[in-house]
Amino acid sequence: MSEIKEKIILEAKNVEAWFGDFQAVKGISVAYGEKTINAIIGPSGCGKSTYLRTLNRIHEETEGAYVRGEVLLEGQNIYDKRIDVVDVRKRIGMVFQKPNPFPSLSILDNVVVGLRLQGINKRSTLMEVAESCLKKAALWEEVKDKLNSLGTSLSGGQQQRLCIARALAINPPVLLMDEPTSALDPIATAKIEELMNEIKRDYTVIIVTHNMQQAARISDYTSFFVYGKMIEHGLSSDIFTNPKEKQTEDYISGRFG
Amino acid sequence: MNNRLFRKIKNHLFFGLILLSAALVLIPLFLVLKFVFVQGWSSLSLSFFTEIPKPVGEVGGGMKHAILGTIYIVLLGALIAVPLGVTCGIYLSEFGKSKLSKTLKLTVDLMSGIPSIVIGIFAYLMVVVPLKSFSALAGGVALSIIMLPIIIKTSEEILKLVPTHIREAGLALGLPRWKVILFIILKGSVSNLLTGIILAISRAAGETAPLLFTAFGNMYLSYEINKPMATLPVQIYTYAISPFKDWQRQAWAGAFVLMVLILTLNLFARYVLTKIKDKKGI
């Protein structure tokens, strides 16, 4: 494992994820530095998304699914029995593969619903948060005149940026992204990659992607997964130019996967 | 050549049979509608809506008391069945894997198969006997039992339509499960749920058997929950089997009003449902 220059914010220690008898993720240990973009690449069905979902304890919401190992957020194990799962998820946001704005909520409400349901009702505060998050998500200019339209009335790419704004609104230091651009066209994808460079200033991002060019373009660090195991982890510049493992080299040069 | 002719004949024959069965279903339905509309419309007058029954022999009078009674008892039933039914629907859709929920599911299926007269007997034993009087309350309880399985089933199905990733998105925002269910899942399904509720109400509004010995019926206007109360179906039944021509005509008018009421409710529910489907088709 390569050493990390930045202060460590999130660390997986021997994480295993199970669906009943099936083990999807096998003993992953990685540390993530503060305000970095970390890509996870690997062939389909290799447990990337499942691993990502263990990091904010969403994995356990699936029937029969459970996790072993530790995930330390700023030194504290999020799987500790004394920890409230709700607090964990407030500090580790998530953007999903398919854009999923809440149906029958307006664009504005979609962004601030997290805050509102936490009891923050002051209109000026909510408007401020909405504007700044929509700006960070590079959506503000497109929606500022129709904040009361339904979130689902936007295009797919806009919906995904709305979901990013929604995740940013509760201001989590860590943001997980599960193939956020796989359902989008190249223009929408470019917009999201652009905004990721912006949000990197304030947030730590862990992104699962199928797209190796994307991982190379945007990430500081990259992990390569095969069959639930992490084959290699390191600086993206190293992984994509000079991988240590034969399997990684084969994968990034398109010889397998 | 012969073969082809035979095939053509077979084809026509089957098509004819299908048409025939469709017609067989439609004809009685239209006949019922026609009878009720023709007979009902001609027996209808303004006083039917504004007056209560007059003594036998006197001309005129209406079913104001029964129309209001039906609305009263149906709303009473809905008041009991809607919160209970929607809550059960939530339980089945959101926590539907436990032993209890499997039992509940089976019970609901069985419930919708209970003959309505048996539900009437049940409400009689549970409410009328202890309170020692026929009452609007007993009628409301009986109708709520008719509504419950419909509301539970539709609520469950409607909430299950909400995709898992919407729930996960809510949870991932650090919201407790109950808030996700209440403010995101339910809020997004309100108009759908309403459709199910209206369908249940319109089904219950036409029931006669459960009301016969619960709400019982009377001949004057009453708003008292612990006293017998008239309803359209029971009033129609009483008048229709009476020997008086005038009462029989009123029964037709009552049937007409009841049918229009239920038809309107149904069409309204369908209208709301199609509107929602249009909106979702993005």
- Selecting from B163, B172, B282 the residue whose C-beta is nearest the C-beta of A94 gives B172
CA dist A229 and A207 (Å) reads 17
pLDDT of residue B139: 95
Closest chain B C-alpha to A211 CA, distance in angstroms? 22
Range B66-280: architecture per CATH: Orthogonal Bundle (1.10)
Sheet holding A65-73, edge to edge: A22-33, A8-19, A65-73, A76-77
Q: Give CA–CA dist A85/A145, Å, rounded.
A: 37
Give yes or no for a contact between A44 and A29, defined as CB atoms under 8 angstroms apart.
Answer: no
A221-226 and A37-41: which strand pairing? parallel
**CA–CA separation, B247 vs B267, rounded Å?**
30
Contact across the interface for A167 and B172, Cβ inside 8 Å: yes
The encoded tokens of residue A59 equal 């994995």
pLDDT class for B1, splitting at 50, 70, 90?
low
Q: What's the rounded mean pLDDT across residues B129-133?
A: 93
> How many structural domains does chain A have?
1
* Separation of alpha carbons B232 and B208, rounded Å: 9
pLDDT score for B97? 79
Q: For residue A140, give both structure tokens.
A: 């503000």
For residue A229, the domain's CATH number is 3.40.50.300
State the pLDDT at residue A210. Answer: 86
Name chain A contacts of B172, Cβ cutoff 8 Å.
56, 58, 89, 93-94, 96, 167
Task: With residue A93 as reference, give the H or E element that holds it.
Answer: strand A92-95
Contact: B174, A102; criterion CB under 8 Å: no
* All structural domains of chain B with their residue ranges: 66-280
- In chain A, which residue's Cα lies nearest the Cα of B190? A104
DSSP letter for A150, please: B
**What pLDDT, on a 0 to 100 scale, did the predictor assign at position A34?**
93
Provide Rg for chain B, Cα atoms: 23
Q: Which residue is listed with tokens 């009891």?
A: A119
**Contact of A129 with A112, CB cutoff 8 Å:** yes
d(C-alpha B225, C-alpha B72), whole Å: 9
Distance CA A129, CA A115 (A): 9
Do A58 and B168 lie within an 8 Å CB cutoff? yes
| A75 found inside a domain | yes
What parts of chain A have a pLDDT lower than 50? Answer: 1
pLDDT, tens only, B163-200: 999 999 999 999 999 999 999 999 888 888 988 999 99
Whole-structure pTM value: 0.82
- Integer Cα distance of B38 and A172 in angstroms: 68
Residue A257 in any domain: the answer is no
Q: Which of B97, B179, B184 sits opposite A63 (nearest CB)?
A: B97
CB-CB contact of A38 with A80 (8 Å):
no
Looking at the partner chain, which of B174, B188, B190 has a beta carbon nearest the beta carbon of A90? B174
Report d(CA B196, CA B193) in Å as an integer: 5
Mean pLDDT of chain A: 91
- Tell me what pLDDT residue B187 has: 85
- The more confidently predicted of residues B84 and A256 is B84
Q: Does A84 touch chain B (CB under 8 A)?
A: no
Alpha-carbon span B82 to B199, nearest angstrom: 12
DSSP one-letter string for A130-197 = HHHHHHHTT-HHHHTT-TTSBGGGS-HHHHHHHHHHHHHHT--SEEEEESTTTTS-HHHHHHHHHHHH
Residue A144 pLDDT: 92
A residues 109-128 closer than 8 Å to B (CB): 113-114, 117-118
Given this model, what pLDDT does residue B272 score? 78
Beta strand A174-178 pairing with A92-95: parallel
Smallest CA–CA distance from A177 into chain B, residue: B172
**Which positions in chain B touch A78 (Cβ < 8 Å)?**
none
Q: Which of residues 158-177 of A touch B (CB under 8 A)?
A: 163, 166-167, 170, 172
Q: What are the backbone angles phi and psi of residue B275, rounded to the nearest 5°?
A: -60, -45
Q: Is A205 exposed, middle or buried (0-12, 13-18, 19+ CB in 10 A)?
A: buried
Name residue, tokens 């034969």: A246
Q: How far apart are CA A7 and CA B119, in angstroms?
A: 69
Over residues B226-254, the pLDDT tens digits come to 899 999 999 999 999 999 888 899 999 99
Cα gap A245→A229, rounded to integer Å: 13
A211 located within any domain: yes
Q: What are B9-50's pLDDT values in tens digits? A: 999 999 999 999 999 999 998 999 898 999 898 888 888 898
Per the prediction, chain B carries an average pLDDT of 90
Token representation of residue B222: 């009453």
For residue range A184-219, list pLDDT tens digits in order. Answer: 888 888 988 988 888 889 999 999 998 888 999 999
Question: Amino acid identity of A14?
Answer: N
Cα–Cα dist B55/B52, whole Å: 10
**Cα→Cα distances B19→A4, A128, A136, B7, B157, Å:** 76, 64, 62, 18, 32
* CA pair distance A156, A100, nearest whole angstrom: 9
Terminal alpha carbon distance of chain B: 51
Number of inter-chain CB pairs under 8 A, A vs B: 73
| Nearest-CA distance A205 → chain B (Å) | 15
**Residue A129 structural domain:** 8-252
Q: How far is A41 from chain B (nearest CA, A)?
A: 22
- Contact criterion met (CB < 8 Å) for A89 and B280: no
Contacts of A107 (CB under 8 A, 6+ apart): A143, A146, A147, A148, A149, A150, A151, A154, A162
Q: Is A2 domain-assigned?
A: no
Ranges assigned E (strand) in A183-235: 204-208, 221-226, 229-235
